[in-house]
């Protein structure tokens, strides 16, 4: 059953803010964390970037979290030792009863 797999835990990382050159910017040195339980985390493929300037690997994943999870675009998600960035806005899937969830499209870069 699908719901039996929704037992993973992720950590949401959200930056503080600081003013730099007159603009408010993310301050990852003063980030706050939040543990989110009852999640489903699935890898979603990797790509090797070798365009002559940069050699690196882009990895994707999808995380399904409870609808009331405090996450937003630009937050980072840690699963195990890997840290991903939420790409775009979280998408709410509702009307499915026990399967209601929010989908996070994640990306990380190594290079």
Q: Between these two residues, 40 and 109, which has the higher pLDDT value?
A: 40
What pTM does this model have?
0.84
Report residue 28 CA to chain centroid gap: 15
| The CA-based dihedral angle spanning residues 42, 85, 91, 63, taken in that order and rounded to the nearest 10 degrees | 20
**Per-domain residue ranges of the chain:** 2-110
103 contacts 62 by C-beta, under 8 angstroms: yes
What percentage of the chain carries pLDDT values higher than 90? Answer: 67
Quote the DSSP letter at residue 51: S
d(CA 92, CA 95): 10
pLDDT in tens, 89-105: 999 988 777 778 999 99
What's the pLDDT score for residue 68? 92
Fold of the domain spanning 2-110: Thrombin, subunit H (2.40.10)
Three-state secondary-structure class, residue 69: coil
């Amino acid at each position: 059953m699908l719901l039996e797999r929704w037992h993973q835990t992720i950590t949401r990382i959200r930056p503080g803010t600081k003013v730099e050159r007159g603009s408010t910017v993310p301050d990852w040195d003063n980030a706050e964390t939040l543990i989110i339980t009852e999640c489903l985390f699935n890898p979603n493929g990797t790509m090797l970037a070798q365009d002559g300037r940069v050699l690196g690997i882009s990895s994707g994943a999808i995380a399904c979290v409870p609808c009331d999870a405090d996450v937003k675009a630009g937050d980072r998600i840690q699963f195990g030792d890997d840290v991903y960035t939420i790409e775009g806005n979280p998408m709410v899937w509702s009307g499915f009863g026990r399967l209601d969830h929010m989908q996070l499209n994640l990306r990380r870069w190594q290079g």
